Chains A and B, each alone.
Chain A
Amino acid sequence: MSMEPESDRGAVRIRAGGSFWQNLTQRHRDAAGKAWARLRQAPLSAAFGVLLIAFAWLLPLMVHWLERNLAGAAGDLAGSHGAHVFLKVEQDEAAATAIAERWRVAEADLETRVISRDEGLRELAELPGFRGIDAVVGDNPLPVVVSIDLADPARLEALLDDWRKDPAVDFVQSDARLKRKLRHVQEFVAAAAWVAWLLALAGALLISIHLSRLAVNADRDEISVSFWLGADDAHIRRPLLYGGMLQGFIGASLAAILVLALVAATHRALVEFSQQFASRIELLGPDPRTLLAVVVAAVVLGWLGAFVCTSVDLGQLGQTREDIE
């Protein structure tokens, strides 16, 4: 043991040197380092927290992906009108032309077009998912189809109901009805997406509050001692804020990676499946901007959760009154 050296004596200096920026970056580096150390100190609970956040974001990301592909499908359908009437296979093109003419004459403004078997196969081969099918099918199995166009949808429905009873007709496919159904599905998915986003936002915030609270509890000793030694609220708060942002970031990134992996796997399965028909199916991936927005939102919510937690909890922890003995 030795005496305090001359140069060290009695200084009143509380804050050591270093420029404003040096001190600022040091504080933030310390806080980020502490946040990281806290995660590593309890890897299991950190992993659990991160997984919770990832699951919170997974649902809306999946719904978003579904929504995007539905929108793509609706876009493909947007160009088509009216209906397609599939005739029984024994009806040849001449019979079909006669039937179509009979219908056209009976109804004003009705337009008909007979799609021959060859034409049908070619059209089919143009559709996404059936590309190249014309090359692999030997005997053309398609029926002759009458394509119908009528501006008045109510009138069209009534006509289609009549034609369904026609013995020459196999079945009727109403594009308008299909579009309507698709629109209903889209509306439903859009509503579900809203709910999923709201749930994820609330969930991520609550999880972050909870995780911050766990961090406060795990480090209660250090926080109390720091307060006794004169730490200000910002000093206690900073590592918790970084911790929240860090967990939000890792959680949301994990969710994004999971969604991308899931989409890739689905896509590969679909491609393999469709290759058996010598065609390609294109699925849209999730929008990268959405993924980025989710990561940013998760970071912000992680910060916010820690902020809320510390606003509530540090008031009590800052109470230094405690029996010293």
Chain B
Amino acid sequence: MIEFEGVHKRYAGGQNGLLDINFVIQRGEMVFVTGHSGAGKSTLIKLIALLEGTSRGQVRVDGQVLGSLRRSAAQQHRRTLGMVFQDYRLLHRQSIFDNVALPLRIAGWTQADIDKRVRAVLDLVGLGARAFDTPLMLSGGEQQRVGIARALAPRPALIIADEPTGNLDPKLATDIMQLFISLMQAGTTVVVASHDLHLIQRVKKRVLVLDKGRLIDDFRPEPAA
């Protein structure tokens, strides 16, 4: 489903984001991307979401070479995935409900379907009661969950999440991981960038390890006994 082939990413300022990255993620897999700060995790996520382009090499999603997509096809590509941003990217002037409804409005859902779906995903992340608050009335962890709800709302076949549990306490982090696992079990492909090694160890899914822009390991922990 996701293929990186000889991918380099060099930012305009000369910083190396990624160096010669190669891997394949199958449809329905759940994969962690980990590494120290600055290792290139966010860069990798952004390349999949086409929020950045590669400097060299190819990123393919469902066989499509992302770098060759026209503007409208790139927009279409972003609509098919659910992106969780490291800094949430919520709209502070709009209600939680409207924030979560945004991708559904973009995708042209009817109001009735939007009402139903937004309530369902807000309940899913435990924020059903906060629908008509605005993001700044919420804690960091709650905002993060709104960001997750927004990514899940359009029922994407691919979820990419940049440090989705960065601001959650361990209990909530585990709950969110359980949520991702249940999505994965239902057929959704899930890519999670995280530096939380404890969490990654608990979940026991495939891990890509980045270091200074290079992919230095790609392993699957032994299943729990």
Contacts and interface: CB of A to CB of B under 8 A. Distances in A.
Interface residues of B, number: 62
B77 A230 contact: yes
A23 B75 contact: no
Contacts, number: 136
A3 B183 CA distance: 9
B32 interface: no
14 contacts: A8-B120, A15-B109, A16-B117, A18-B113, A23-B110, A26-B111, A229-B83, A229-B150, A232-B106, A320-B51, A321-B51, A324-B45, A324-B46, A324-B87
B78 to A, nearest CB: 3
B2 interface: no
A232 B109 CA distance: 15
Given A229-B106, A324-B42, 13 more contacts: A3-B178, A3-B182, A5-B120, A10-B187, A10-B188, A11-B155, A26-B108, A222-B91, A222-B94, A229-B78, A230-B107, A320-B51, A321-B53
Interface in B113-164: 113-114, 117, 120, 123-126, 150, 152, 154-157, 162
A9 B51 contact: no
Interface string B64-100: 0000000110011111110101110111111000000
Contact of A2 (B45, B90, B124): B124
B36 interface: no
Nearest to A318: B71
Interface of A: 1-5, 8-18, 22-23, 26-27, 30, 41, 221-222, 225-233, 235, 318, 320-322, 324-325
B186 A9 contact: yes
Contacts of A9: 182-183, 185-188
Contacts of A225: 89-91, 102
A3 B157 CA distance: 17
B175 interface: yes
Contacts of A232: 72, 75-76, 106
Contacts of A231: 75, 106
A235 B186 contact: no
Nearest to A34: B105
A1 B126 contact: yes
Contacts of B117: 16
Central interface residue in A41, A221, A225, A322, by most chain B CB within 10 Å: A225
B57 interface: no
A318 B75 CA distance: 9
A7 B45 CA distance: 29
Nearest to A5: B120
A193 B94 CA distance: 46
Nearest to A229: B103
